[in-house]
Amino acid sequence: MNPGPAAAADRADGRVDLPVSGMTCAACARLIERTLARTPGVTRAAVNLASRTATVEYDSRRARAADFVSAIEGLGYGVPETDLPPGGGEPDYRLRFLVAACLAAPLMVLSMRMASPWLQLALALPVVAYSGAPFYQAAWSALRHGSANMNTLIALGTGSAFLYSLGVTVAGGMHVYYEAAAVIVALILLGRMLEARARAKASGAIRGLMDLQPPTARRVVDGVESDVPVERVEAGDTLALRPGERIPVDGVVVDGESAVDESPLTGESLPVDKLPGAAVFAGTFNRSGSLRYRATQVGRGTVLQRMVELVRQAQGSRAPVARLADVVSGYFTVGVLIAALITFAVWLFLAPPSTAMVNAVAVLIVACPCALGLATPTAIMVGTGRGAARGILIKSGEALEMAHHVGCIVLDKTGTVTQGKPRVTGIAPAAGFTEAELLRLAASAERPSEHPIGRAVVEAAAARGMALEEPAGFTAEAGHGVRARVGGREVVVGRPGVTVTVDGTCAGSIEVADAIKPEAAEAVCRLGALGLEVWLLTGDRREVAEAIARQAGIGHVVAEALPEAKVDEIRRLQAGGRRVAMVGDGINDAPALAQADLGIAMGSGAGVAMEAGAITLMGGRLTGVPETIELARRTMRTIRQNLFWAFAYNTIAIPVAAMGLLSPMLASAAMALSSVTVVMNSLRRERK
């Protein structure tokens, strides 16, 4: 087993995500979780029933991943190969279901005609011994470890009906219930199959991301191209890319021009132009030209694989709202066993033993808490998967739930509300100069400059197709601008505003500003419609901040705030009872992101600060913020619906079965339907 990324080195601990097969209900997950948590060296263990994964954080000086595998297998569960997707390695119930269905159907007909009990036994025995074997094996394994789970209820229910009928048959009686045992096994297997398919669809986000990476790459050695498995590509290799192909690994373009569709990573639909020096990313789609690029990140180091890992971790996490379900399911199985015993005892006084047995079996079967265990994780799987498809990386169920609760959104200015890149917004020439002449002289003087304002002036001239001169005697003074000779004329471009003088005469001014993002006003409007209070928090000058706020429609502004002051401002908002989400670039705003109840980091594909916030917006689109809130609210609404259905189902079904109003066969169908309903309700949100 390969452990996941190590945590901080000074803590010397690690993390591993293990696929687990054989889990059937929340009780199974809790048993594995408790066992792992008691393993020496483990600091935290979490088991997700929906994704069939166990996440273990541990001190690598005291434990190894192999220890956790042994602990899980010792409980009777399996740990398939780690390269399988979540949910992989689960038993294939199809053959067992076909056997059960083919034998249970004639058995029901024979039971209605009161056919020979021995003939019914011959049909029921393969169903119980073969089709139902996984239930009995799992129940026995749980019993050996002093636990009870869904399999315990199924094994007791079907086993009781079968053994009672066997005793009646041997004694020469006619009133047997072989068909009940066989049909229950068949229906539960059918429910398992439907549930597995639905869960596989819920975890499709990870498979979709993994499928984005092509299996081969076209490596160039001494001018010769050859296809090699992507696993053999190393950093520094030169790769060729043709139109219509997906990019296999991250890299930097060295030759060629093209437009690349980066929507799988960023959610941004418009293609991005790629020229020499531009970064390209695994899983994105090359639309037009041919490229050659140098591989920089391969394997798990690519942005795509880091996304896969983050989505996998998020789908294996637990939201705080799930704690109630965890507590209830921990005691549920034992409670059901007690309820079944009471049902049996009461009915012994009211009816023949066969009736008491049938009603007790119905209680055992109908009360399986599988739907309860699936209610939260399936919704989180769909929510985080849906977010990943939109370039929204939600790193945990806790972050998803907090996004639902926030009432105040604090936006950084540069790179969040604005594009983070100065550009020329106006040119005002003095008498005797034209706009074109003023811009050409200023841009020529700024050519050697690395200052963002100077680069903005040069780019504005290049966009107009101007031919610039090479300046002579270039000098730059921090905070004051540049001085150079252009065509024999002394040109000075001053800071902080771009004022230009030529041979000591004022030639005019060039306005340079960090332009607001095109979607900023729409995003702020949507946040307001969601009932959220929006603040702009920046270290920039007040007049600049207020101008940006007016353009974006932001009503609250805090300007000239140093990083420490930003943290204090968020604390002030929190002290007023608000739950605050801070949106920033993930680097300069790290203290504020950490102080906020929810940190949302803005990314831009290359070098995305995925670790900076609890949520990362891969494309850097500000509209991703309201999309995140909307997604969180839909997901939490789904979780509440699922929990209501699961609790309501058991609350109603158990007394109905105890009163003798629900046959074991109907109980098994209702139990399977409850689990499938919860999963399908979660999947319904995937289409929205």
- Give the residue numbers marked as catalytic: 412
Taking a C-beta distance cutoff of 8 angstroms, is the pair 383, 637 a contact?
no
> Cα(632)–Cα(638) distance, rounded to whole angstroms?
10
> Cα(625)–Cα(615) distance, rounded to whole angstroms?
10
Phi and psi, residue 583, nearest 5°: -115, 120
Instruction: Report the helix count and the strand count for the chain, using DSSP H and E.
Output: 22, 25
> Cα(281)–Cα(283) distance, rounded to whole angstroms?
6
SS3 (DSSP) at 424: strand
Phi-psi region of 665 (alpha: psi -120 to 50; beta: other; left: phi over 0): alpha
114-121 long-range contacts, CB within 8 A, separation 24+? 114/174, 117/165, 117/168, 117/169, 117/173, 117/174, 117/176, 117/178, 118/169, 120/165, 120/169, 120/176, 120/178, 120/179, 121/165, 121/166, 121/169, 121/176, 121/178
DSSP element (H, E) containing 591:
helix 590-595
Contacts of 635 (CB under 8 A, 6+ apart): 379, 380, 382, 383, 400, 404, 685
Amino acid at 286: N
Phi-psi region of 131 (alpha: psi -120 to 50; beta: other; left: phi over 0): alpha
CA distances from 198 to 169, 191, 455, 686 (A): 40, 10, 53, 12
Residue holding tokens 């990573």? 265
> Cα(6)–Cα(58) distance, rounded to whole angstroms?
10
Taking a C-beta distance cutoff of 8 angstroms, is the pair 517, 618 a contact?
no
DSSP string, 25-88: SHHHHHHHHHHHHTSTTEEEEEEETTTTEEEEEEETTT--HHHHHHHHHHTT-B---TTSPTTT
Closest CA to 671 of 446, 374, 245, 344: 374
* Entry field: residues in the chain: 688
- Bridge partners of 601, per DSSP, are 584, 616
DSSP element (H, E) containing 138:
helix 133-144
- Bridge partners of 545, per DSSP, are none
Closest CA to 264 of 156, 432, 389, 369: 389
Phi and psi, residue 251, nearest 5°: -170, -170
> Cα(199)–Cα(374) distance, rounded to whole angstroms?
9
> Cα(546)–Cα(548) distance, rounded to whole angstroms?
5
DSSP string, 492-559: EEESSSEEEEETTEEEEEEEEEEEEPTTHHHHHHHHHHTT-EEEEE-SS-HHHHHHHHHHHT--EEE-
Taking a C-beta distance cutoff of 8 angstroms, is the pair 181, 124 a contact?
yes
DSSP element (H, E) containing 685:
none
Q: DSSP code of 322?
A: G
